[in-house]
Amino acid sequence: MTLRAVAPWAVILAVALSVGAAFAKPDGTSTMPTKRPVDYEVGKRLWAQSCWQCHGESGKGDGPAAAALVGGVPSLEGKVRGNDLDRLVKVVQAGRGAMPAYSEDIDEHDTRRILQYLEGKLEGRAPPPDPDKEKDKEAEEGGEGQ
């Protein structure tokens, strides 16, 4: 009885986990048309996961957690530049002041992806084409199954 009640959930959980694992696989991204949108998506996701709480959605230092920090959070406007990314990657990895170190959770490559995403956002650059939409377009153009 108990077992029967639990079983369907176990199946759903197993399916959910395997779907999650499939998406998480780094080589799952190989179906994407170019590398750029992938980097952008990774940067965006990690920013939303680990950084915006302090830095604010657009890096202006107005995240909800900033108010709780004694010194506040400086705006990153004008600070995140391509030619300075090597230095900034190290700052984020090592942490600074009220900012924790990220080297144990986010590697250098992903840290760079976050900063590249942020740089584009601060400069109001348009995001790269959505890979899913591009795929749809390709399918349409190819006339698959029409």
Helix (H) / strand (E) containing 29: none
The pair of structure tokens assigned to 32 is: 């994407």
Stretch that binds ligand HEC, among 12-20, 32-40, 95-103, 137-145 (CB under 6 A): 95-103
Stretch that binds ligand HEC, among 17-25, 30-38, 47-55, 125-133 (CB under 6 A): 47-55
- Report how far residue 143's alpha carbon sits from residue 146's, in angstroms, rounded to the nearest whole number: 6
Cβ-contact 115, 80 below 8 angstroms: yes
Nearest distance in Å: CB 124, ligand HEC? 18
- Report how far residue 91's alpha carbon sits from residue 70's, in angstroms, rounded to the nearest whole number: 20
The SS3 call for residue 107 is: coil
Stretch that binds ligand HEC, among 14-22, 28-36, 98-106, 128-136 (CB under 6 A): 98-106
In terms of CB distance, is 40 or 102 closer to ligand HEC?
102
Nearest Cα residue to 73 out of 60, 84, 90, 85:
60
Cβ-contact 101, 8 below 8 angstroms: no
58 near ligand HEC, rule: CB under 6 A = no
Nearest distance in Å: CB 75, ligand HEC? 10
Residue 124 backbone class (left: φ over 0; alpha: ψ -120 to 50; beta: rest): left
Given candidates 65, 67, 94, 139, which one binds ligand HEC under the rule CB under 6 A? 65
Nearest distance in Å: CB 103, ligand HEC? 10
Kindly determine how many residues on this chain lie close enough to bind ligand HEC according to the rule CB under 6 A.
23
In terms of CB distance, is 38 or 111 closer to ligand HEC?
111
Given candidates 38, 41, 42, 76, which one binds ligand HEC under the rule CB under 6 A? 76
